[in-house]
Amino acid sequence: MKVLITGGAGFIGSHLAEKLIERGDEVYIIDNLSTGRLENIKHLAKNENFHYTIDSIMNEKAMDNLASKCEHIYHLAAAVGVKLIMDKPIETIETNVRGTEIVLKVANRYKCKVLIASTSEIYGNHVLHSLHEDDNRVMGSVKKRRWAYAASKATDEFLALAYYDEKKLPVVITRFFNTVGPRQTGTYGMVIPNFIQDALLDKPITVYGDGDQSRSFTYVGDVVDAVIKLMSHPDAVGNIFNIGSEEEITINELASKVKEMAASKSAITHIPYEEVYGKGFEDMRKRVPNINRIKELIGYKSTADIDMIIKSVIEYFKS
């Protein structure tokens, strides 16, 4: 199988490239290194089945050339992270919407099967129960920049399903819930690597807001296994799948757990969201997935609990 991964030098993309090469696929990646890093793929560079292009998915000519060589496309490239959303909203919207438009356009030209990596942000402020793929979404005001990323990824999903319905392009949509593991950095607001880096340096572990907001975290290896299985399953085409863990933890509990597991002397401090992201910032109180659909189709289950995830990231930063 010849496969293209957009964002292939990124955190998830590099793990996916590794796994696909292990099973014997020929892997092409494209990454502009805005959030990806060459360090993530340097161990693959000499493999004859690995090819990398340093360019943007916004370059339609480059994308066309790569798509013409491949049968499957995993579209992971996106502007990600709360900090980037708040600091660079134009880049976020244009990269996510225009980039996905180009991916789907060239995929349709060569009839490549496409997996679109979407996000739990799609659900917005919906907190009544574990989040099901067919739930209505609850978005804040368009004047609240926080929701720009969710809106852009929702547009990606609408466009992908339009290509499926109108042009019969085989697409699979996945919604990731806080993927974590080795190679992830805290640069763009990812909470676990930020907490762990501070804890290992005995710096204050800073919790935004009151810390009672709850999340679930998913090990990157589970995400990679899930997307590969979904792309191989004919019944996944035209459908949407949550990929996440049902284990729920508050951010206060997470900070305490990181401090303990890192044997850190760090103090745990709290600061208002407004001090970090500006006036009027909104966050959701709870975000936990319903994963029955993916369980039923491919037998998905989380293999790593929160302790195992934290341990793997601590070991990564120590190394």
CA distance 154 to 96: 10
DSSP string for 76-130: -----SHHHHHH-HHHHHHHHHHHHHHHHHHHHHHT-EEEEEEEGGGGBT--SSS
Torsional sign, CA 82, 84, 88, 93: negative
CA distance 198 to 193: 9
149 is catalytic: yes
Q: Which residue has the tokens 């049902």?
A: 246
Catalytic, out of 123, 149, 188, 208 = 149
CA distance 301 to 177: 14
CA distance 309 to 294: 21
153 bridge partner residues: none
CA distance 56 to 72: 19
Tokens of 215: 């999340």
Q: Which residues contact 34 (CB under 8 A, 6 or more apart)?
A: 79
Tokens of 189: 């607001």
117 bridge partner residues: 174
Tokens of 152: 């852009």
CA distance 107 to 73: 8
Q: Which residues contact 151 (CB under 8 A, 6 or more apart)?
A: 93, 139, 142
Q: Which residues contact 21 (CB under 8 A, 6 or more apart)?
A: 27, 44, 47, 49, 50
Number of H helices, E strands in the chain: 11, 14
Helix axes 191-200, 251-261, angle to 10 degrees: 40
Give me the active site residues, please: 149
